[in-house]
Chain A
Amino acid sequence: MISKEEVKHIADLARLELTGEETDKMQKDLANILGYIEKLGELNVENVEPTFRPVAAQNVWREDEQQKQNPQVIETMLSQMPAKEGNMLKVREIFE
């Protein structure tokens, strides 16, 4: 059974603020779902390679060069920034 402390720890890792009520419900839901997922424990996967993508893919390269962008696209993106200075995105300080 997943503890309430674990739920709070995961919420921190995931950058999710949960209310007390949400934390309680989350604990119950995660316990149920993880209980169901336990079924995978029955399966023997010794010597089995993982499949990270279903269809084999090749690496695709392109030149590392600046690509032209439509000014209207830039304008639409700039106009949606929560905080900006001139044409630049403004973020909160990362180091204190």
Chain B
Amino acid sequence: MQASPQLALRQAKEIDKAIAGGKKLALLAGIPAAIKDAILVKDFNNTAASLILENFHSAQDATAVAKLREEGAVFLGRTNLDEFAMGSSTEHSAYKITRNPLDVERVPGGTSGGSAAAIAAGECVFALGSDTGGSIRQPAAFCGVVGLKPTYGRVSRYGLIAHASSLEQIGPMAKNVDDCEIVFDAIAGQDPKDSTSVDPEFPISNFQFPNIKIGIPKEYFGRGLDKDIKKAVLETAGKLEKQGVKIEEISLPNAEYALPCYYIIVPSEASANLARFDGIRYGKSEKAENLFGVYAKTRGRGLGEEVKRRIMLGTFALSSGYYDAYYLKAQKARTLIKRDFETAFEKVDFLLTPVSPFQPFKIGEKINDPLKMYLSDVYTISINLAGVPALSMPIPKAKVENMPVGLQIIGPHFSEKNIFHLAKAIEQL
């Protein structure tokens, strides 16, 4: 979206000075990073890819960004996204189109499409993304990079422009699993500024490869999945089995309800969170005859089509007469979806699935059909509803339509270290 050369050079000079002075270097000293433009960086013109924040300047760092700064990372700039992180292709940005560097006719995925594309193009070593329903994992898969959606609460959300607070997490994106883990270690941890953030009791890997059981949820391999993606994922499971991993078919019986459940809960939370963009305290402000007019005009002109659609959906689901039938029902469905994962993890240590049912689509292909776009996230949203962690990585050597193929590893709450451990073993296959 925008490079920050002055900041980057200043940070780099400080690192140079530290090196020249023989000082002990921090974990990420001098490592170039890009930050999704929904995560606040002090003095950045953070916009969330929305016109309503066109001239907004962040007064403070998000906690994850402050931690990276402490570790010496160099910030090269902010990356494009779907406006307020609503979309699956980064085409809903109010400013720019981001292309997939592996095939410029295709989308990079979304909503952290700018971060994934910047890594794939070699423009940075790692990036921060955020993931409400697949927004780190799907672009990572589309661009052939690695991305983690941490357990809900594992990384502070302070300074992440809020979209759906009970689902989203900031997470690391990088070229390989090792780098992704290093960045995760740097940003994770309890934060007094986010009351939902926690430190887990066992933050280390506790298994010996290949002494693990992996579940293949049959609902993730049915109708709608590209047959070559299916083949590539199952072949990976087969290779792991040859190395001694136990592979077992399991069931997540409520999987088919995840998408309708998600598209009630997310717009509901978004409609409440985005009420703050009202033209009063900061951001765009339209003139009008009365206060209502200021609100309605500012929001009507400053927000894009998908954002308005979701605010409308959420307002509808929360409105009197519909609350029980939509919002409350969805939160109950969420309990069943979460229980499916709990039951699965009583039997197996991990789940292995595709990230996306199809390969990166062409720019413009789905932009006019919101439902089609929503289906892009069919394999990633349940994970956010259940709050479990999941990593997206390219399957080694696999290509479909001459593009990399994403693999998703899902684990129980706070099992990030185990997931990284398994992902490194898969990288070696």
Binding site for B on A (CB under 8 A): 2, 6-7, 10-19, 22, 25-26, 29-30, 32-34, 36-40, 42-43, 45, 48-55, 57, 59-60, 62, 72-73, 76-77, 79-83, 89, 91-94, 96
Chain A: which residue is nearest B332 at the CB level? A45
Question: B308 contacts A26, CB within 8 Å?
Answer: yes
Question: B264 contacts A15, CB within 8 Å?
Answer: no
Question: A43 contacts B333, CB within 8 Å?
Answer: yes
Question: B387 contacts A16, CB within 8 Å?
Answer: no
Asked if B212 is at the interface (CB within 8 A of a chain A CB), the reply is no
Could you tell me the distance in whole angstroms from the C-beta of A60 to the nearest C-beta in chain B?
4
In the bound assembly, the distance between CA atoms of A21 and B282 in angstroms comes to 29
Question: B308 contacts A22, CB within 8 Å?
Answer: yes
Known: A17-B300, A40-B329. 19 other contacts (CB 8 A): A2-B316, A14-B315, A17-B296, A17-B297, A22-B308, A32-B371, A42-B257, A49-B332, A54-B167, A54-B388, A57-B198, A79-B57, A80-B282, A80-B283, A82-B279, A82-B285, A91-B280, A92-B290, A94-B291
Asked if B312 is at the interface (CB within 8 A of a chain A CB), the reply is yes
Contact of A45 among B166, B263, B291, B336 (CB under 8 A): B336
Asked if B261 is at the interface (CB within 8 A of a chain A CB), the reply is yes
Chain B: which residue is nearest A91 at the CB level? B280
Main secondary structure of the interface of A (DSSP, over half): loop
Could you tell me the distance in whole angstroms from the C-beta of B18 to the nearest C-beta in chain A?
24
Q: How many A-B residue pairs have CB under 8 A?
A: 168
Question: A10 contacts B332, CB within 8 Å?
Answer: no
Could you tell me the distance in whole angstroms from the C-beta of B259 to the nearest C-beta in chain A?
8
Contacts of B335 in A (CB 8 A): 45, 48-51
Binding site for A on B (CB under 8 A): 55-60, 151-153, 166-167, 192, 195-196, 198, 254, 256-257, 259-261, 263-264, 271, 275, 278-283, 285, 290-292, 294-297, 299-301, 303, 305, 308-309, 311-313, 315-316, 319, 326, 328-336, 338, 370-371, 374, 384-388, 413
Chain A: which residue is nearest B383 at the CB level? A54
Can you name 20 A-B residue pairings with CB atoms under 8 Å?
A: A2-B316, A13-B319, A15-B296, A16-B296, A17-B297, A17-B299, A26-B308, A33-B313, A36-B263, A39-B260, A40-B329, A43-B329, A48-B335, A50-B334, A54-B167, A55-B387, A57-B195, A82-B280, A82-B281, A82-B285
Chain B: which residue is nearest A79 at the CB level? B57
Could you tell me the distance in whole angstroms from the C-beta of B288 to the nearest C-beta in chain A?
9
Contacts of B334 in A (CB 8 A): 50-51, 54
In the bound assembly, the distance between CA atoms of A76 and B55 in angstroms comes to 12
In the bound assembly, the distance between CA atoms of A10 and B303 in angstroms comes to 16
Could you tell me the distance in whole angstroms from the C-beta of B57 to the nearest C-beta in chain A?
6
Contacts of B256 in A (CB 8 A): 39
Contacts A30-B316, A33-B371, A55-B198 hold; do A14 and B311 have CB atoms under 8 A apart?
Answer: yes
Contacts of A6 in B (CB 8 A): 316
